[in-house]
């Protein structure tokens, strides 16, 4: 079992370290051909415009789209979520290329600038149901996006209260000239749609490894369904130490 981690920019080392802690091998991906050697892919957080430019420069988009389209498991965190969305708003002028596949509209900087980064305890009943431990997880939001619209096949895994001073500006048409204020009490910050998982926050920056474990279980489910082949991944997945409650984030 090898999990590719797109290693153009952003927090790919942290994802690889988290995978290592739960006994999975993370492989840095910088070329389209390298995707052939992995079972799944994580697209890390970072800066989505820069990441898109680098991906374009290395002609990665066709291979990434093929990977998603083939039903391979892909998890996007933060900028990775933006990459996976069918539609992004609040982009820099000229927009940016997306992989797409996730039936969502994402606001690229929904929660504001770097200075408005924050941490919050998120209610995650579906994660806890599958992985055990606390019914909440620490959400580290760094210049974070949010999902402002989701299609009917998108399963919501977490949403987040919108700070009262932020009735966020969204551009329903993706047009920066025609901004419109929406007021929402909650926005969606974690979803699953078939082979795709996406989080607006950064589990790889906390010591809670349940999101990585959740993703690996997804990979196993999808692989088993696809080929009925048994991976080595599940050998003692139930017994591993991250099943213990882990509340403290690395960054406080």
Ligand X SMILES: NC(=O)CC[C@H](N)C(=O)O
CB of 240 to ligand X, least distance (A): 28
Residue 196: C-alpha distances to residues 69, 120, 145, 193 (Å): 10, 24, 17, 5
C-alpha of 100 from chain center: 13
| Residue 119 in the binding site for ligand X (CB under 6 A) | no
| Residue 82 in the binding site for ligand X (CB under 6 A) | yes
Among 79, 85, 191, 219, binds ligand X (CB under 6 A): 79
142 is in an annotated binding site: yes
Q: Whose Cβ is closer to ligand X: residue 48's or residue 105's?
A: 48
**C-alpha closest to that of 77 among 134, 10, 126:** 10
| Residue 142 in the binding site for ligand X (CB under 6 A) | yes
- Which of these is catalytic: 78, 104, 137, 160? 78
| 78 tagged catalytic | yes
Helix (H, G, I), strand (E, B) or coil at 233: helix
Residue 52 · residue 60 · CB < 8 Å: no
Q: Whose Cβ is closer to ligand X: residue 79's or residue 218's?
A: 79
143 is in an annotated binding site: yes
Per-residue DSSP letters for 43-78?
E--S-HHHHHHHHHHTT-HHHHHHHHHTT--EEEET
Among 143, 168, 212, 220, binds ligand X (CB under 6 A): 143
CA distance 240 to 104: 34
Looking at the DSSP bridge assignments, the partners of residue 249 are 206
Residue ranges binding ligand X (CB under 6 A)? 45-48, 78-79, 82, 108-109, 142-143, 145
Detail the residues annotated as belonging to a binding site.
46-48, 108, 142-143
Q: Please identify every residue annotated as catalytic.
A: 78, 202, 204
Binding-site positions for L-glutamine: 46-48, 108, 142-143
């Amino acid at each position: 079992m090898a999990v590719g981690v797109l290693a153009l920019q952003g927090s790919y080392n942290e994802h690889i370290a988290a995978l290592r802690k739960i006994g999975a091998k993370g492989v840095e991906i910088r070329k389209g051909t390298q995707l052939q050697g992995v079972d799944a892919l994580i697209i890390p957080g970072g800066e989505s415009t820069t990441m898109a430019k680098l991906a374009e420069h290395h002609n990665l988009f066709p291979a990434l789209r093929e990977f998603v389209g083939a039903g391979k498991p892909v998890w996007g965190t933060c900028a990775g979520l933006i990459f996976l969305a069918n539609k992004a708003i609040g982009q820099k002028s000229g927009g940016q290329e997306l992989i797409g596949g996730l039936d969502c509209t994402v606001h690229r900087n929904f929660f504001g600038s770097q200075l408005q980064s924050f941490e919050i305890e998120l209610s995650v009943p579906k994660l806890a149901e599958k992985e055990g431990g606390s019914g909440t997880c620490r959400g580290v939001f760094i210049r974070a996006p949010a999902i402002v619209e989701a299609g009917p096949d998108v399963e919501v895994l977490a949403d987040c209260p919108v700070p009262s001073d932020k009735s966020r500006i969204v551009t329903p048409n993706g047009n920066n000239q025609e901004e419109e204020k929406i007021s929402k009490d909650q926005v969606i910050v974690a979803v699953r749609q078939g082979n795709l998982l996406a989080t607006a926050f950064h589990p790889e920056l906390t010591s809670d490894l349940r999101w990585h474990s959740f993703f690996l279980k997804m990979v196993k489910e999808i692989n088993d369904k696809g080929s009925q082949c048994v991976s080595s991944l599940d050998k003692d997945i139930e017994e591993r130490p991250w099943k213990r409650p882990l509340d403290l984030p690395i960054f406080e």
